[in-house]
Amino acid sequence: MKFGIVVFPGSNCDHDAWYSVTHNLHQEAELLWHDSSSLGDVDAVILPGGFSYGDYLRCGAIAKFSRIMAAVRSFACDGGLVLGLCNGFQILVESGLLPGALIRNRGLKFICSPVELRVETTNSPFTSMAQKGRILRIPIAHGEGCYVADAHTLDALEAEDRVLLRYAANPNGSLRDIAGICNAGRNVMGMMPHPERAADPLMGSTDGLVLLQSMVASPALQVK
C-alpha cells in the first residue's frame, strides 16, 4: 500500500508521518508537493501536522486553497482514505470535508503531552483493527485543538457513530471530549493527536500504529 503525504509550506510533521509509514508500518510512502494537481498512484492520503502557510489567518485556512487540495477533495469524494493529523485535521474542517472547527485551547496555551484516547467505534477504516473502549496513549501538540460545532452537528456525529476517538481526560476543552471524527462516508478522518509520534517503541508508545494498520487492512482499498 502506498500512502501519499502532502507537504505544504510550513508542514513540519510530514517527515515524521513518512518515517512512521515506511519504517514502523513497513508500507510505501511518497511526499506530495502542495502545488501538484495530482496525487499520482497513492492509495491513501495523509495531511500531516505543522503550520501550513504559517497558520496565517486561521489554521488551515490558506491550505484549503492550495492546488493539491482540489485533488484531495475529489479523491475523498471517490471514497479514497484521507487522514488529517493535527494541522491536517484543521485543514480538513476548513476545507469542509469534515464538520466543525478547531479553536484555541481552553487554557490558551500550546500543549505538548501524551494523552489517553478512547476508541469509540471500530466502524471505520481508521479504527477497524482496534477494540472499542480501548485506551490509546498518543501525544498531542497543538495550540488550537479545541473541537467545536453546534449541538445539532455534534448530535448527528454521535448518532451516526462518527466520533472515532475521545479524550479520556479532556486537555483542550473540545466539546464532548472529541479528539477525532470521520465524515459521513467514513473515508475521511481528522484527529488532533499525533499517531505518527506513537509508532516507534523508542518514542514510548506504539498505540498510534493501530490507526495506520486499520487503513492498510481497509476493504475500501480493495474496492478502489
Partner 1 sequence: MTQFPPDVLARHNLTEAEYRKIVGLLGREPAFTELGIFSVMWSEHCSYKSSRMHLKKLPTRSKLVVQGPGENAGIIDIGQGYAIVFKIESHNHPSFIEPFQGAATGVGGILRDIFTMGARPIAVMDALRFGPLDDPQSGPRNRRLLEGVVGGIAHYGNCFGVPTVGGECVFETSYGGNPLVNVFALGVVRREDIFYARAAGDGNPVIYAGAKTGRDGVHGATMASAEFTEESKEKRPNVQVGDPFLEKLLLEACLEAMQTGAVVGIQDMGAAGLTCSTCEMGGRGQVGIEIDLMHVPQRETGMTPYEIMLSESQERMLLVAEKGRQEEVFRVFRKWGLDAVTIGRVTSDNMLRVKDHGAVVAEIPNAALTDAAPMYDRQRTRPYRTAPMKGPTFRSMDLDADLRKLLCSGDLCSKQSIWRQYDHMVRTNTTLGPGADAAIVRIKETGASVAMSLDGNGRYCSLSPREGAKLIVAECCRNLSTVGALPVAATNNLNFGNPERPEIMAQLVEAIEGMGEACAFFETPITGGNVSLYNETRTGGELTAIFPTPVMGVVGLLPTQMPVPLSFRNRDRDIVLLGGPGGCDELHFGGTQYAKHILDDLWGLPPALDMDYEKRVQAAIRQIIAEGLAESSHDLSDGGLAVAAAECCFSPGNIGAALELDTDLRPEFSLFHEAPSRILISTTHADRVAAVAAQYRIEAPVIGRTVEGRLTIRNRGNTLIDSPVETLRNLWEGALEHLLHAQDRHV
Q: Which residues are known catalytic residues?
A: 86, 194, 196
**Is position 22 an interface residue for partner 1 (rule: CB under 8 A)?**
no
Spatial distance between the Cα atoms of 47 and 128, rounded to a whole number of angstroms: 20
Amino acid found at 121: T
**Is position 196 an interface residue for partner 1 (rule: CB under 8 A)?**
yes
Q: In sequence order, what are the residues at sequence separation of 6 or more whose Cβ sits closer than 8 angstroms to the Cβ of residue 77?
A: none
Cβ proximity to partner 1, 15 vs 73, nearer residue: 15
Find the part of the chain contacting partner 1 (CB under 8 A) among 94-102, 149-157, 161-169, 197-205: 197-205
Grid coordinates representing 86 are 493535527
Q: In sequence order, what are the residues at sequence separation of 6 or more whose Cβ sits closer than 8 angstroms to the Cβ of residue 219?
A: 125
Grid coordinates representing 140 are 498531542
Interface residue with partner 1 among 3, 53, 126, 147 (CB under 8 A) is 53
Interface residue with partner 1 among 116, 200, 217, 221 (CB under 8 A) is 200
Cβ proximity to partner 1, 105 vs 174, nearer residue: 105
**Is position 207 an interface residue for partner 1 (rule: CB under 8 A)?**
no
**Is position 120 an interface residue for partner 1 (rule: CB under 8 A)?**
no
Interface residue with partner 1 among 109, 159, 222, 223 (CB under 8 A) is 109
**Is position 169 an interface residue for partner 1 (rule: CB under 8 A)?**
no
Spatial distance between the Cα atoms of 82 and 66, rounded to a whole number of angstroms: 16
Report how far Cα 75 is from the mean position of its chain's Cα atoms: 16
Task: Identify whether the C-beta of residue 99 lies closer than 8 Å to the C-beta of residue 157.
Answer: yes
Give the binding-site size for partner 1 (rule: CB under 8 A).
Answer: 31
Q: Give the ranges where 110-184 is alpha helix by DSSP (H).
A: 151-159
Summarize as ranges the residues that interact with partner 1 (CB under 8 A): 9-10, 12-13, 15-16, 19-20, 49-51, 53-56, 109-113, 139, 141, 143, 194, 196-197, 199-203
